[in-house]
Amino acid sequence: MVSVDLPFDTHIPLSYIEDRKVRLGLYRRMAEIDTIENVEFLTEELNDRFGGIPPAVSNLLYQLKLKILAERAGITSINAEKSQIVLKFPEDIGPPKLVTHPAVRIGKTAYWITLNESIDDWTTFLYDFLIGLIEN
């Protein structure tokens, strides 16, 4: 299981879904989702059943997508450290050496993505970066 620790709020607020059983059921469903398509289906369902999705739920769904992509790419964790996002790989494998982007540094067991002016939106960059790792 991939660990994701990023600097944003990820939960289902009481103001969005008041019923505790429904919220817990959704968390259980999210834990079992293993495809981006199923995250998209859940997003549509939430929007249809409960209305516009608040930022904390949107972040939770984004985080779920990251976990799915990271698992496919062989990443064990995604963490924010100061002004960087760190994508860690198992120590015995390490990251592929295919990446060439000025904001990305390749270490022995991780990619270090420096959040600077070369990246407009780090959430989109991170998502696209993971897609690129899977496709290569």
- How high is the pLDDT of residue 68? 97
Residue 108: CB atoms within 10 Å = 8
Residue pair 79/70 in contact (Cβ under 8 Å)? The answer is no
Average pLDDT across the chain, whole number: 93
For 57-78, the pLDDT digits (tens) are 999 999 999 999 999 999 999 9
Query: What's the pLDDT band for 116 if we cut at 50, 70, 90?
Result: confident
Residue 65: CB atoms within 10 Å = 18
Give, in order, the Cα–Cα distances in Å from 94 to each of 57, 60, 66, 100, 105. 32, 27, 19, 16, 13
Residue spans per domain, the chain: 3-135
For 37-49, the pLDDT digits (tens) are 999 999 999 999 9
Residue 102, pLDDT > 90, answer no
Distance, first Cα to last Cα, the chain? 22
- Between 131 and 100, name the one with better pLDDT: 131
Residue 136, pLDDT > 80, answer no
Measured over the CA atoms of residue 108, residue 123, residue 52 and residue 8, the dihedral's sign is: positive
Distance from C-alpha of 105 to C-alpha of 98, rounded to nearest angstrom = 11
Element containing residue 28 per DSSP (H, E): helix 20-32
Tokens of 113: 């993505």
Beta bridge partners of 5: 79
Indicate the pTM of the whole model: 0.91
Give, in order, the Cα–Cα distances in Å from 20 to each of 16, 32, 59, 61, 90. 11, 19, 20, 19, 37
Domain 3-135, CATH among 3.30.360.10, 3.30.413.10, 3.20.20.100, 3.90.1150.50: 3.90.1150.50
